[in-house]
Each structure stands twice: as structure tokens, then as C-alpha cells.
């Protein structure tokens, strides 16, 4: 129960990595605040945690709305008295890959808003409190697209690259306040219900289960990772190693 007495906010907690992380932190004793635009599913996840004896609040919020984000942070603080952990996980990109030159004007702003601004808003909303307490763990979920790029997903790659730079700059700013800021960069996350069938995209020959990403997020959120800050962990089954041959 390494998170007993801690409070964690997890964005995008209704599905995938965010849901696995919320269940994991709650299972290890954290009070969790689950944020997602999908009201039905986020309440279901909170219900599952409560049924198992945990403490969870659910917020059906669009993280691209700064005032709503501020209101969530204020409510969490008023309820639990502290915010120890922030996992900026909510994010998305186009399902279909499109060459940048063919991407129509006005079609990509939502990716920038969700992947960059949502993380900036939530981080900004908790920082004053974390700095005052001289304690905080911030984990930003980027993508391997940040470090190697993905062709025909240039806007997504740019948005995820911004999160890695943000992580490094913030880690330097917040080091004196004993706040750890790190990044996890996944690839090929299996759907929760998807069997881990063979997948040639990784050297491990399969996709990663959401729990396998929650493992490192939980580590970075814990005091075991107290001397790690400004790092970007590629959790990709060897996807970015190469060459892979034919
Ligand atoms: N799936 C992959 O293969 C993969 C690869 C690299 C990086 N990532 C990144 O990992 C993170 C989690 O990925 P996942 O596959 O678990 O995602 P997912 O699609 O399963 O879950 C994302 C959650 O974010 C929520 N969300 C979307 N827009 C929102 C908004 N405006 N406000 C609040 N919530 C919102 C969705 O409702 C959903 O529950 C994302 O940042 C994603 O970009 C995923």
C-alpha cells in the first residue's frame, strides 16, 4: 500500500492506460480523482474502485477547458486537502495517417489543444499547491512519436514532442521544490480487452497491456523514484530499436 494517504489526479481515466493507472494507484491506497470527457465510463471506473474499498471521485470534464480544469483541482484539494500526484494521460491523435501537406487548415487544432494545452492547464492548476508543500510527482504521457516521429502523423508527433520538452524544462524549474516531473512514452498499447496477439511492430512480438504502462507510472509516482526527474521512459517493447529487417 505504497500510496496510502496520497491523492492522485489521473486524466483520461475512463479507458486504457489511464484506467489501468487509476485502478493501480487506488489499489495501493491512493485517493484518486478520475478525470475524463466520457461521463458514463469514468463513473464506472470510480464505481469499481469504490466497490473494492477504495476512494475515488469522478469528474466528467473536457481538459481543454481551463476553467473546468481549475475547478477540478480546487474540488480535489478541498476534498482531500492535498494533491501529491498528477498523471497527465488524456490524449489522442487521428486514427488515419495523413501526409502533413494534405492536412486541411483548421483540422489539427484539437490535437494541440488536447495533447498540449490539457497537460499545461492541469499542471498549472496544481503547481502552486505542490510548490507550497514541496512535494509532487507529475507524470506526462507522451509517445515514441516524440523522439522518433511517425510519418503522416506529424501534428501528433509535434504535440507529443512538446510534452517531452515541457517535462524537461519543468523538472529543472521545480527541482528546488522537490517536485519530480517525468515522462512516459508508450507505443502500441493493446485495448483492454484485446488479446496480446503476435504483433510485428515490437521486438517482443506483441503489443503492451495497459497494466504494463501503469507499472512504470506507479513507480514514477512513488517515493522509490525520488531521484528521477526530467526523464522520458520509452515503454515500447523495443519498437524504437532497430534495424528490424524485413
Ligand atoms: N494507444 C497507443 O498505442 C498509444 C501510443 C503512444 C502514446 N499513447 C498515449 O497514451 C495516452 C493514453 O492512451 P490510451 O491508448 O490509453 O488512450 P484511450 O483512447 O484508451 O484513452 C484516452 C482517454 O482520454 C479521454 N479523453 C479524450 N479527450 C479528452 C478530453 N478532451 N478531456 C478529458 N478526457 C479526454 C478519452 O475519453 C479516453 O478515456 C494518450 O496520451 C495517448 O496519446 C497511446
Q: Whose CA is nearest to atom 2 of ligand 1?
A: 189
* Dist. CA 91 → ligand 1 center (Å): 4
7-235 falls under which CATH superfamily? Answer: NAD(P)-binding Rossmann-like Domain (3.40.50.720)
For ligand 1, residues with CB inside 6 Å are 11-12, 14-18, 36-38, 62-64, 89-92, 114, 141, 143, 186-189
Q: What is the pLDDT of residue 234?
A: 98
* Dist. CA 36 → ligand 1 center (Å): 10
Q: Whose CA is nearest to atom 30 of ligand 1?
A: 62
Q: Whose CA is nearest to atom 14 of ligand 1?
A: 16
> How many separate helices (H) and strands (E) can be counted in the chain?
8, 7
Residues 121, 135, 156, 233: which is the catalytic one? 156
Region 62-87 average pLDDT: 98
233 as an active site residue: the answer is no
CA distance 113 to 144: 19
Question: Which ligand 1 atom is the nearest neighbour of the CA of 93?
Answer: 43
Q: Whose CA is nearest to atom 34 of ligand 1?
A: 36
pLDDT digits (tens, 9 = 90+) for 154-166: 999 999 999 999 9
Tell me: pLDDT of 245 over 70: no
The position carrying cell 516531473 is 181
Specify whether the CB–CB gap between 115 and 92 falls below 8 A: yes
pTM as predicted = 0.98
Q: What is the pLDDT of residue 156?
A: 97
* Domain range annotation of the chain: 7-235
Q: What is the pLDDT of residue 9?
A: 99
Q: What is the pLDDT of residue 38?
A: 98
101-122 per-residue burial string, b: 16 or more CB within 10 A, e: under 16 = eeeeeeebeebbbbbbbbbbbb
Amino acid at each position: 500500500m505504497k500510496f496510502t494517504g496520497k491523492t492522485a489526479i489521473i486524466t483520461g481515466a475512463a479507458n486504457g492506460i489511464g484506467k489501468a493507472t487509476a485502478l493501480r494507484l487506488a489499489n495501493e491506497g491512493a485517493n484518486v480523482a478520475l478525470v475524463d470527457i466520457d461521463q458514463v465510463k469514468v463513473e464506472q471506473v470510480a464505481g469499481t474502485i469504490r466497490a473494492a474499498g477504495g476512494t475515488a471521485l469522478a469528474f466528467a470534464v473536457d481538459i481543454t477547458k481551463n476553467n473546468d480544469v481549475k475547478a477540478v483541482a480546487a474540488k480535489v484539494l478541498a476534498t482531500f486537502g492535498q494533491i501529491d500526484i498528477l498523471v497527465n494521460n488524456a490524449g489522442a491523435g487521428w486514427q488515419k495517417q495523413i501526409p502533413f501537406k494534405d492536412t486541411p487548415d483548421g483540422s489539427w487544432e484539437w490535437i494541440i489543444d488536447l495533447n498540449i494545452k490539457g497537460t499545461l492547464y492541469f499542471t498549472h492548476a496544481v503547481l502552486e499547491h505542490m510548490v507550497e508543500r514541496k512535494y509532487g510527482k507529475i507524470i506526462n504521457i507522451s509517445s515514441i512519436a516524440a523522439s522518433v516521429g511517425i510519418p503522416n502523423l506529424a501534428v501528433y508527433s509535434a504535440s507529443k514532442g512538446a510534452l517531452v520538452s515541457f517535462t524537461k524544462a519543468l523538472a529543472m524549474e521545480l527541482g528546488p521544490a522537490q517536485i519530480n516531473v517525468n515522462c512516459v512514452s508508450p507505443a502500441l498499447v493493446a485495448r483492454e480487452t484485446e488479446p496480446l496477439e503476435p504483433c510485428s511492430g515490437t521486438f517482443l512480438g506483441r503489443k503492451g497491456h495497459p497494466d504494463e504502462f501503469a507499472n512504470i507510472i506507479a513507480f514514477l509516482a512513488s517515493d522509490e523514484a525520488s531521484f528521477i526527474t526530467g526523464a522520458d521512459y520509452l515503454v515500447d517493447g523495443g519498437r524504437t530499436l532497430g534495424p528490424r529487417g524485413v
